[in-house]
Structure 1
Amino acid sequence: MTTIRHEFYETDEKLTLSVFDKGADPAQVSVTFRPRSFTYENGDKKLVLEPLKGQIDPEKSDYTVGKVKVEVRLVKVAPGRWSALIGDSPDPLSPFPSSSTTPAVAEARRRHKNWDSVTEAILSSEKNVTSDDDPNAGGDASVNEFFQKLYADADEDTRRAMLKSYQESGGTTLSTNWEEVKKSRVEVKPPEGGEWKKWGV
């Protein structure tokens, strides 16, 4: 008996297994799906995977015989990643349910959220934030609006402090305290992890 080379990749809902049996005759290939096992036979070549890491739905699982390999699609009963084909992990869904609407399956489906719909619901419930509510709302345009308003409403000393601190620090500091800023040159303070470089250097 020859064990056949195989590999797999998976999503939360399905595991796709490639069985490398070049030139296999579809009429000679025998595949058996069981809740926690899979068997492939072709003449003296055999592949048995048991126990499978998780439970599959034999009714929905299928395979295709190609020229180079046989592609097997194992449909998972409970969504999630296995990260291995076989394993003795406890099976919360055993014994195999006769109906796909058993409480265990319903519970597994309930826990598997549709994140797209959750995101949509959150976004649709959020009101549009204006620059009055949050100066960072709406990107650069709103930030500029905020600083223009701050500058326009400020007194002469505050304006001088804003201009001096912004220019001398290369745009890394904005101070409104003229008493502090007028004493000395304002240092460049790049964000944490950042590095200050002069333009063109």
Structure 2
Amino acid sequence: MSVRYDWYQSESKVVITVLLKNATEKNYAVKIESKKLHMTADGYELEIQLLHPVVVDRCSHKVYQSKVEITLAKETGVRWETLEEKAAPAAVALPKLHTKNWDQLVNEEEKKDEKEAKDEAALNNLFKRIYSTSSPEVQKAMNKSFSESGGTVLSTNWNEVGKDKVSVQPPKGTEFRQWEK
């Protein structure tokens, strides 16, 4: 059977992530040579002729529940355009090589984080404005509903929240847990 994998690189190393369900339970073996990587795991096989040589004694591999991560130490700091020297022979069924632009992915994630931070700040400002311009009765309702519900409810209606204790209402698909003391 073929194995799905992906790879990325830094100036000094190439990291190959081999996706393998229940990897810790599989009988896996990794053999690293100067320009060749060979991995087997209970019926799975991956063989790659590397584009550039690696320093074998500085290479390593680690198994996780769903993957095996192989770290190859580059012999030189040259950027690899591809992982493989040439296409694999037809007899060995290997997956298609997919490279990712990690810098672009990082930039996209940073932009998402910035947008989320702006959205959160705008929402906090809205709640502050509502609270600061509200009557004491509305402020009391907001404080009571927020504190009694563990931060899951925010009401401005004192007639509703003043009657009884406000129950916890976690977002759909989540559950509320008390902190252990």
TM-score in terms of structure 2 length: 0.42
Higher Rg:
1
Q: Which has the higher helix share?
A: 2
TM-score in terms of structure 1 length: 0.39
Identify the structure with bigger relative contact order (alpha carbons < 8 Å, sequence gap 6+). Answer: 2
